Every structure is written in C-alpha cells, then in structure tokens.
Amino acid sequence: MTAGIIKVGMADFNVTKHPGVLTTLGLGSCVGITLYDPLTKVCGLVHIMLPSSKAIKNNSNLAKFADTGIPLLLEEVLKLGASKSRLVSKIAGGAQMFSFSNKNDIMKIGERNVQATKEVLGELKIPIIAEDTGGNFGRTIELYSDTGILLVKTIGHGMKQI
C-alpha cells in the first residue's frame, strides 16, 4: 500500500500498475476520473478542469478537458496492459465551492464537468461503478491499484471509500 504514491496535478494525468497508488489533491470544481482494470491491476487518473476543448482556443493540454483527457487516459492504460472490456471507472469532484444567487455558467462548472465526464465515459462504453460528486467542498482522492478502492478525503465532511 505504501509503495510509490504518484501525485497527479491539476490538468494532468498519470497511470501505474500494482502496487502503485495514484492521488490528486484538493479537487474543487474539477473532476478526478479513474480507470481500473481489476485483472492486470493497471490504473489511471486524470484531473480535468473543463468540460470541452472545443470552445477554447488554447487547448493544447489534452488532460485539461473531459472530452480529450478521458480518451488520452484510456489510451495510456491500454498501453500499460489494461483491457478495455474490463475497465471500470470511478469519479469524484465537481463541487460548487462558492454560491451566488444569480447562477451563471461559470459557477455551475462543477456540475458541467461531471455531466461531460459521464457523457464521454458513456460514449467510450466504460461503466462508472462509483461516484462522489457535487456538494460545496473539496476532495482529495487516492486510487489503490491492488484493490481499485478509491479513498475520498475532505475537510469537515469525513473520509470514505468508494
């Protein structure tokens, strides 16, 4: 369990296999998407910031967007030996950290990120077997390659395994 914790930054991704652990710290409106193959114990984690790369001029960083980050992560776990038919996904994040009475698009970015994530995973036919999304608080997540368990830590909202 303690071997090599790999940190994934914002708009970044990484992959590993048993016994590695992948983590991303302080997810707010961003969404952390994990892919896991229970047989080969290959796993991957991407930390996306925005739903779509299409509306944005500066979109060279594929890991920043749900529509490009998830396919990129898929490609990388397959390279490491995962089988697409066995892959399962868990997602966390997509909170709304600040609330305003007049809700504009930018404030609902967390919700839009979660929605886009589900659409992309749906198109890729990867089942989402667990999620911890929404709310108004931050999350740190850790994905354990030996079991596929995703540990979600918060400040003041407890800790859970999904």
Partner 1 sequence: MGISIEELNSMQIDVLKEIGNIGAGNAATALAKMLDRKIDMNVPKVEILEFKEVAELLGGAEVPVCGIYFRVEGDISGSIMFLLPLKSSKVLANMIMLKEDESEIFDEIDQSALQEIGNILSGSYVSSLSSLTGLSIKISIPSLAIDMAGAILSVPIIQFGQVGDHVLLIETEFHEDKNDVKGFFFLIPDAESFEILLKSLGVLQ
Residues lying near partner 1 in the complex (CB under 8 A): 9-11, 25-30, 49-50, 56-58, 61, 64, 95, 97-101, 104, 106, 109, 136-140, 155
Q: Is 93 in contact with 133 (CB distance < 8 Å)?
A: yes
From residue 85, alpha-carbon distances to 15, 78, 93, 121, 158 in Å are 18, 11, 25, 13, 33
Comparing CB distances to partner 1, the nearer of 42 and 91 is 91
Distance CA 66, CA 129 (A): 18
Comparing CB distances to partner 1, the nearer of 39 and 106 is 106
Q: Taking the complex as a whole, how short is the minimal distance between the CB of residue 43 and partner 1, in angstroms?
A: 21
Comparing CB distances to partner 1, the nearer of 28 and 148 is 28
Q: Taking the complex as a whole, how short is the minimal distance between the CB of residue 41 and partner 1, in angstroms?
A: 26
Distance CA 55, CA 51 (A): 10
Strand-strand pairing, 42-48 and 21-27: unpaired
Residues annotated catalytic, as ranges: 30
